[in-house]
Amino acid sequence: MAETSTPETRVWRDELRRRWALASPAMIVITLFSILPLMVMVVYSFLAPGLYGNVIWEFSLRGWAGVFTERDLFDDTLGIAWAHVTILGRSVALALATTALTLVFGLPTAWFIATRHPSTRAFWLFLITIPFWTNLLVRTIAIQEVIRADGTINRILLSMGVIDAPFAMMFTNGAVLLGMSYVFLPLMVLPVYAAIEKFDFRLAEAAYDLHASRLYCLRRVILPLMKPGIVAGSILVFIPALGAYVTPRLMGGGRAMMWGNLIDLQFGQGRNWPLGAALSVVLTLVVAGALVWYVRATAAKGGRDG
Amino acid sequence: MADRRFSVRHLPGVSGIALITFVVLYTPVLILVIYAFNAGPVIGRWEGFSLRWFTAALENAAFRNAARNSLIVASVAGLVATLCATLAALATTRGRRFRGEGGIYLVLNQPLLVPEIVLAVALMILLAQIKQATGYHGLGWLIIAHSTFCIPFAYMPIRARLEGMDLTLETAAMDLYASRFYTFRRVTLPLMAPGVLAGFMLAFVISLDNVVVSTFVKSPGQETLPTYLMGELRRNLSSEIYAISALLLFASVAVVAASWLITRRKP
Amino acid sequence: MLEVQSLSKTFGIGASAYHALRAVDVTIAEGEFFTLLGPSGCGKTTLLRLIAGFEQPTAGRLVLDERDIAAIPPNRRPVNTVFQNYALFPHLSVAQNVGFGLEAQRRPATEVKARVAEMLDLVQMGHLRDRRSSELSGGQQQRVALARALAPKPRILLLDEPLSALDLKLRKDMQTELKRLQQETGLTFIFVTHDQDEALTMSDRIAVMEGGRLQQVATPRTLYDDPANRFVAGFIGDTNFLQGEARGGSVTLAGLPPAPLAGANARSGPVTVLVRPEHVVIGHSVPQALQVEGRVERLVFSGTDTHVHLRLGQGETLVARTQNSLHSGTALEQGAAVNAFLPLEALRLLPDEAAHG
């Protein structure tokens, strides 16, 4: 570099070098063990599946073709893989339903916490934070206990004589929806709470002062100002729900499988790594799409505010 | 309702739904904890209070091995992630913004932007090759995988702490003849310590709780607590599983409570 | 002696570049109480930060005792700073704060201890030596910050608006206190402020800054009596600006006879004449003065004084300040026609600004 070396440029150059050096350990670890694996996976999606798992190093689009199509076992014609379509459709539907359900319960809960007196607010917030950091597996076991064949609900109903035989709730779409809503609820409550906590309640008073009804005030003043929190909470629930693995596996079993379990299957019994890789890439792209929508939604809001 | 004082903070029905939410959130966990203390072997039939399932779990060699692995992985990965995150936070919260800072930020949060199952299988594909090439099948792979996705979690509280810190304090130290290192040791480090501790605890809990990445990265025969639990669940549901779950729950509550107390303490 | 030689500082590059300091030249003498005065964004804090070493100049030199210190990092400059928000270390006690600079220099523990005690006595904070800084009041924090900056015996003490966070009463006390400390230690103080009263009462010399440039460097008296330009005249105190015409060694104000003013010889054409409100005399005639007629437009009572706003025959406004005494004589009334006298020695011809660029 032929740049002149004044104290000013020298100090700034030293600082830049130091700051890049400080950031580099984290950058290197993440690049090597998160970004690089993802790139390798993209490569694998374009290879041919090995007979006993892994891949054969030759270019092939069979993995990508397998996402939505399958060859008939007998006459070798290409048809739509309805099993995949069902599973991917179910994943999107259940993730959306989970988002909606957590919103219905999470919004009032966040409002409730944010409007408590400051002295008790910390306690309620603590109550919602505990599940947030508790093992997801443990929480799934807990909700499973309630609805399984000889679980709490069935035991109570049987002992009360309401039913004669256990009510089958496990391994259904409903069970997966309930399980995911249960484990992801804190992810909705926390960002919405953060938005309400920042809300200036004098604005609502101003609305009432200007003869707004409760509903009108809620619709025109409170909800628009809570929108960033609602959008953040929805994205925080939707993304892990779409890629959920543990909860659908325990609550849905083989009958209510989701996207994450389908990916798992290709690396296990299915022995079709390229298909698994392709399914993973598609899932990542869908999630990236949701994130872009999120950035747009929040950026548009910022723009309107000036 | 007529005699109720008007308040803009009051919305009809909200408290009811909120209380239902808290009940629904805590009842299953409480039932689980209660049956962990059941004397009988059948879940659902209460036969009195007992610690026998906790004793059984602690005497179970497979559980102890998994617990040991989990603690090693969570401690080492937590430390590595906290160290990396601390350095990165120092790089991104001090001084003027520079070109590439947005890129650093994106890379630091990248593990959060990809579904966990995708990161898990991607790591499995890569590490399968490396394991074969190096012949090493130890805990190191779990540690490095956990360190990776724990970095963004450790980064959050540390960055928040550093951003809340008055930058002129460091300027003042430099003005008073302190070298860069002396400033860091006497001013920056003591002031950022609570954030670093909170970051470590967060990383520790995140690592301890991880199921998906561990499942795909662990070598055959290797178990962490969650993967052990997952494997046991596939066989049958036992009171011992509930006891183990309760132990994990207590550990999480303890760590969260501790980090809650630390971060809320004023400097 | 500190020499600032054509010092410039530019932040950013290209179209977004911001010139905080444009070729500033000034020499600050040993033991001087030197004040940088100006509105926010004038460059005074940038100049201070350059002297402290927190920023590096884009161009120019900073010469302290015949040595260019521009490239020396702040922790090796014999210069200490009292920060605007004090920047006391919240995790250290008062004594540890004061001893920080000496410990950073690895001075022996006995010396540190003695010097800390001496400094705490100097600012009368010895009794609070073990307190945390968060437990101190604003004025006490101010004293600790001062002791901390003085403890390492700097060649120059820099003070960045140190009194701006204090309330009025405390600020007055601290002004006296600062001046006393400066005289006792004989140290060079460079003081940054946007408060003209503070600058006028405390300083040996003041540098008025605006737009990254020095507008005038002079003693408080000279700044007030002979401002170098319209900005300085308007920034320091209140001033009446009157339009006139210079010709043949005299200045003619609208509708008045020509008056011989100092400096009028070298000028011709339109000029601006300044007169301070307290120099305008109302009610009784004075010798050697211009007499103007006006109508009282507004009376503003402000305790010791009353400001009389006059509308002159030509439509110009003139403000006079009259002292309120027990027997204020004939009370002025709004709308009344009065004669005002402008003593010739109080009239100042504003230097030609075009000539200075």
Q: What is the pLDDT of residues B11-48, one digit of tens each?
A: 778 889 999 999 999 999 999 999 899 888 877 778 88
Contact (Cβ atoms closer than 8 angstroms) between residue B145 and residue B210:
no
pLDDT over threshold 60, residue C227: yes
User: What value does the mean pLDDT of chain C take?
Assistant: 89
Distance from chain centroid for Cα A206: 37
What integer pLDDT is reported at residue C330 of this predicted model?
54
Strand partners, A59: A47
Using a CB–CB cut-off of 8 Å, the residues of C that contact B are 52-54, 73-76, 79-81, 83, 85, 87, 89-91, 100-101, 104-105, 148-149, 152
Residue of chain A with shortest Cα separation from C59? A6
Identity of the residue numbered B61: A
User: Which residues make Cβ contacts (< 8 Å) with residue B182, sequence separation at least 6?
Assistant: B173, C104
pLDDT over threshold 70, residue A271: yes
Q: What is the pLDDT of residues C139-182, one digit of tens each?
A: 899 999 999 999 999 999 999 999 888 888 888 888 998 999 99
What integer pLDDT is reported at residue B1 of this predicted model?
40
Inform me whether the C-beta atom of residue A158 falls under 8 Å from chain B C-beta atoms: no
- At B51 the three-state DSSP class reads coil
Q: Do the bridges between strand C188-193 and strand C33-37 make them parallel or antiparallel, or are there none, so unpaired?
A: parallel
- Do the chains contact at A7 and C57, CB–CB below 8 Å? yes
Contacts of A191 in chain B (CB under 8 A): none
- Most C CBs within 10 A among A8, A13, A14, hence the mutation to make, goes to A8
Distance from chain centroid for Cα C141: 24
Contact (Cβ atoms closer than 8 angstroms) between residue C16 and residue C38:
no
Closest CA to B120 of A247, A263, A140: A263
**pLDDT above 90 covers what percent of chain B?**
58
Cα–Cα distance measured from residue C112 to residue B2, given in angstroms and rounded to the nearest whole number: 71
What integer pLDDT is reported at residue A304 of this predicted model?
39
pLDDT over threshold 90, residue C243: no
Distance from chain centroid for Cα B102: 25
Low-confidence ranges of chain B (pLDDT < 70): 1-9, 263-267
pTM: 0.85
DSSP C270: E
- Domain residues of chain A, as ranges? 90-305
Q: Do the bridges between strand C250-253 and strand C240-247 make them parallel or antiparallel, or are there none, so unpaired?
A: antiparallel
Contact (Cβ atoms closer than 8 angstroms) between residue B156 and residue B92:
no
More confident residue, C269 or A1: C269
Nearest to C80 among B169, B176, B191 (CB): B176
Contact (Cβ atoms closer than 8 angstroms) between residue C239 and residue C318:
no
Residue of chain A with shortest Cα separation from C8? A8
pLDDT over threshold 70, residue A302: no
Cα of A152 to nearest chain C Cα, Å: 53
Cα of B105 to nearest chain C Cα, Å: 22
Closest CA to B207 of B224, B183, B230: B224
Please report the number of interchain residue pairs, chain A to chain C, with beta-carbon separation below 8 angstroms: 17
Closest CA to C159 of C168, C169, C150: C150
Mean pLDDT for C329-349 is 83
* Six-digit token string for A273: 């790594």
Residue of chain B with shortest Cα separation from C98? B176
Contacts of C55 in chain A (CB under 8 A): 8
Domains defined for chain B, CATH in brackets? 60-235 (1.10.3720.10)
**Which residue is listed with tokens 């496990």?**
A170
Specify whether domain A90-305 bears CATH 1.10.3720.10: yes
Q: Do the bridges between strand C18-28 and strand C281-282 make them parallel or antiparallel, or are there none, so unpaired?
A: unpaired
Contacts of C70 in chain A (CB under 8 A): 7
Q: Determine phi and psi for C242, rounding to 5 degrees.
A: -115, 140
**pLDDT above 70 covers what percent of chain A?**
96
Cα of A5 to nearest chain C Cα, Å: 11
Closest CA to C308 of C287, C337, C345, C288: C337
Identity of the residue numbered A292: V
Nearest to B233 among A104, A151, A250 (CB): A250
Nearest to A38 among B31, B114, B237 (CB): B114
Inform me whether the C-beta atom of residue A3 falls under 8 Å from chain C C-beta atoms: no
* Six-digit token string for B208: 């301890």
DSSP C351: P
Query: Can you tell me the ipTM of this complex?
Result: 0.89
Cα–Cα distance measured from residue C124 to residue A219, given in angstroms and rounded to the nearest whole number: 60
The number of helices, as runs of H, and strands, as runs of E, in chain C is: 9, 19
Nearest to B174 among C75, C89, C148 (CB): C75
Contact (Cβ atoms closer than 8 angstroms) between residue A66 and residue A270:
no
Contact (Cβ atoms closer than 8 angstroms) between residue C223 and residue C206:
yes
